[in-house]
Amino acid sequence: MADTGPSDLRPNSNVYTVLVIVATIFLLAATVFTSMRAQALYGNWMPF
- Taking only Cα atoms into account, the Rg of the chain, rounded to an integer number of angstroms, comes to 21
Domain boundaries, the chain: 13-43
The number of helices, as runs of H, and strands, as runs of E, in the chain is: 1, 0
More confident residue, 44 or 2: 44
pTM above 0.85, yes or no: no
Interior/surface letters 7-42, b for 16+ CB within 10 angstroms, e for the rest:
eeeeeeeeeeeeeeeeeeeeeeeeeeeeeeeeeeee
Whether 39 contacts 45, CB under 8 Å: yes
What's the pLDDT at 48?
Answer: 65
Q: What is the mean pLDDT of residues 33-45?
A: 86
More confident residue, 25 or 39: 25
pLDDT (tens digit, 9 = 90+) per residue, 9-33? 666 668 888 999 999 999 999 999 9
